[in-house]
Amino acid sequence: MAPLLEVRNLTVAFDTPSGTVHAVNDVSYTIEEGETLGIVGESGSGKSVHALSMVGLIATPPGRIVRGEVVFNGRDLLKLSQRELLDLRGKEIGFVFQDPMTSLNPVLTVERQIAEPLKRHFGMTSAQARARVIELLELVGIPDAARRAGQYPHEFSGGMRQRVMIAIGISCNPKLLIADEATTALDVTVQAQILDLVRDLKRKIGTTVIWITHDMGVVAGLADTVQVMYGGRIMERGPVRSVFHDPRSAYTWGLLKSLPHGGKRGVTRLYQIPGNPPDLTRDPIGDPFAPRNPFATDRCKVETPPLVDAADSVAGHKVAAWYDLRAALATQEARP
Binding pattern for the stretch 302-331 against another protein, x by CB under 8 A and - elsewhere? ------------------------------
Residues 114, 153: Cα–Cα separation, whole Å = 12
Establish if 211 lies at the interface with another protein (CB under 8 A): no
Nearer to another protein, 42 or 87 (CB): 87
Establish if 209 lies at the interface with another protein (CB under 8 A): no
Binding pattern for the stretch 76-95 against another protein, x by CB under 8 A and - elsewhere? ---------xxxxxxx--xx
Helices (H) and strands (E) in the chain, counts: 12, 12
Show Cβ contacts of residue 52 under 8 Å, excluding neighbours closer than 6 positions. 58, 180
H-helix or E-strand containing 225?
Answer: strand 225-230
User: Closest distance between another protein and the C-beta of residue 109, in Å?
Assistant: 8
Establish if 106 lies at the interface with another protein (CB under 8 A): yes
Residue 241, classed as helix, strand or coil, is: helix
Nearer to another protein, 102 or 331 (CB): 102
Q: Which stretch binds another protein (CB under 8 A): 101-109, 188-196, 242-250, 277-285?
A: 101-109
Among 9, 16, 60, 102, binds another protein (CB under 8 A): 102
Establish if 156 lies at the interface with another protein (CB under 8 A): no
Nearer to another protein, 35 or 180 (CB): 180
Q: Which stretch binds another protein (CB under 8 A): 115-123, 205-213, 307-315, 325-333?
A: 115-123
Nearer to another protein, 47 or 121 (CB): 121
Establish if 155 lies at the interface with another protein (CB under 8 A): yes
Q: Please give the biggest Cα pair distance in the chain.
A: 73
H-helix or E-strand containing 255?
Answer: helix 250-257
Establish if 120 lies at the interface with another protein (CB under 8 A): yes
Half-sphere exposure of 207 (CA within 13 A, CB side): 28
Residues 23, 281: Cα–Cα separation, whole Å = 9
Establish if 104 lies at the interface with another protein (CB under 8 A): yes
- Residues touching another protein: how many (CB under 8 A)? 31
Among 6, 32, 69, 99, binds another protein (CB under 8 A): 99
User: Closest distance between another protein and the C-beta of residue 77, in Å?
Assistant: 13
Show Cβ contacts of residue 149 under 8 Å, excluding neighbours closer than 6 positions. 109, 110, 111, 114, 130, 133, 134, 137
Angle between helices 158-170 and 188-205 (to 10 degrees): 20
Nearer to another protein, 116 or 246 (CB): 116
Within 219-258, the residues that bind another protein by CB under 8 A are none
Residues 88, 176: Cα–Cα separation, whole Å = 11
Contact of 194 with 163, CB cutoff 8 Å: yes
Torsions phi, psi of 221, nearest 5? Answer: -85, -15
Establish if 47 lies at the interface with another protein (CB under 8 A): no
Nearer to another protein, 87 or 224 (CB): 87
Angle between helices 158-170 and 110-122 (to 10 degrees): 10
**Interacting residue ranges for another protein, rule: CB under 8 A:** 55, 57, 85-91, 94-95, 97-99, 102-108, 116-117, 120-121, 151-152, 154-155, 165, 168
